[in-house]
């Protein structure tokens, strides 16, 4: 592996995976997280969302089945190598202040993912939807949300924002949701989930 240019007399190895920016959807709704929220990034890959939330001061955990991806993601928080499709859910009984999922769908784990959202916590989920088979991959129905499927999976949460449609650049069909698990309101006051971050 080629070394990166030295920084202040030290050389740092080039990352095994190039850094990519966080999802616009995740960035847009990050303000919903409490300041001390712990974050679980499901199918985290090289950790682009772990990096985003760690940079905002959150303690982050990422899970992925790729040891190579997890090695890169480990720079941003705690990591767990696990095949959540073939093995057990590694976070049974644990909850997080936020759960983040992008570009990943395994229906058998959807209930576990939603259950991992703590009271007052946030689910930020964005993945491919039916129709994507007409523009590229993934194209198998196993990996494409059907109309309303993400809303139905989040029935126990309060939906703050939801989109189901076509994005031009890059061309893809997506569903995405920002939803909060209700917490006990303070003294009769309704919970306030700002629709736009400051």
- Residue 6 inside a domain? The answer is no
Residue 50 domain-assigned? yes
**CATH classification of the domain holding 112:** 3.40.50.150
Range of the domain at 150: 24-180
Report d(CA 13, CA 156) in Å as an integer: 45
- The pLDDT value recorded for residue 184 is 72
pLDDT bin (cut points 50, 70, 90) of residue 129 is very high
Is residue 12 in a domain? no
Domain count, the chain: 1
- Interval 29-55: pLDDT, tens: 999 999 999 999 999 999 999 999 999
CB 44 within 8 A of CB 113: no
Task: Give CA–CA dist 22/127, Å, rounded.
Answer: 14
Residue 128 belongs to a domain: yes
Q: Is residue 48 part of a domain?
A: yes
Work out the mean pLDDT of the chain and round it to a whole number: 88
- Whether residue 19 contacts residue 75, with contact meaning beta carbons closer than 8 Å, is answered with no
For the segment 77-87, the average pLDDT, to the nearest whole number, is 97
Does residue 198 form part of some domain? no
Is 138 within the bounds of a domain?
yes
Is residue 116 in some structural domain?
yes
pTM of the model: 0.86
Taking only the tens place, the pLDDT of each residue in 138-191 is 999 999 999 999 999 999 999 999 999 999 989 999 999 999 999 876 666 777
195 — pLDDT class (breaks 50, 70, 90)? confident
Query: What is the β-pairing status of strands 60-64 and 158-167?
Result: unpaired
């Amino acid at each position: 592996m080629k070394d990166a240019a030295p920084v202040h007399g030290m050389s740092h190895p080039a990352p095994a995976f190039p850094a990519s920016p966080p999802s616009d959807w995740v960035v847009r709704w990050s303000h919903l997280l409490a300041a001390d929220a712990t974050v679980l990034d499901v199918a985290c890959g090289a950790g682009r969302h772990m990096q985003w939330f760690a940079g905002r001061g959150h303690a982050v955990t990422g899970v992925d089945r790729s040891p190579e991806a997890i090695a890169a993601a480990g720079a941003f928080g705690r990591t767990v190598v696990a095949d959540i499709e073939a093995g057990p859910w590694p976070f049974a009984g644990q909850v997080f202040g936020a759960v983040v999922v992008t570009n990943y769908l395994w229906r058998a784990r959807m209930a576990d993912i939603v259950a991992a959202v703590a009271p007052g916590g946030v689910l930020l989920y964005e993945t491919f939807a039916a129709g994507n088979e007409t523009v590229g991959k993934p194209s198998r129905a196993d990996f494409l949300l059907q109309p309303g499927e993400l809303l139905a999976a989040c029935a126990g949460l309060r939906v703050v924002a939801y989109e189901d449609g076509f994005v031009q650049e890059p061309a893809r069909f997506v569903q995405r949701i920002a939803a909060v698990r209700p917490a006990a309101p303070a003294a009769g006051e309704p919970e306030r989930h700002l629709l736009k971050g400051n």
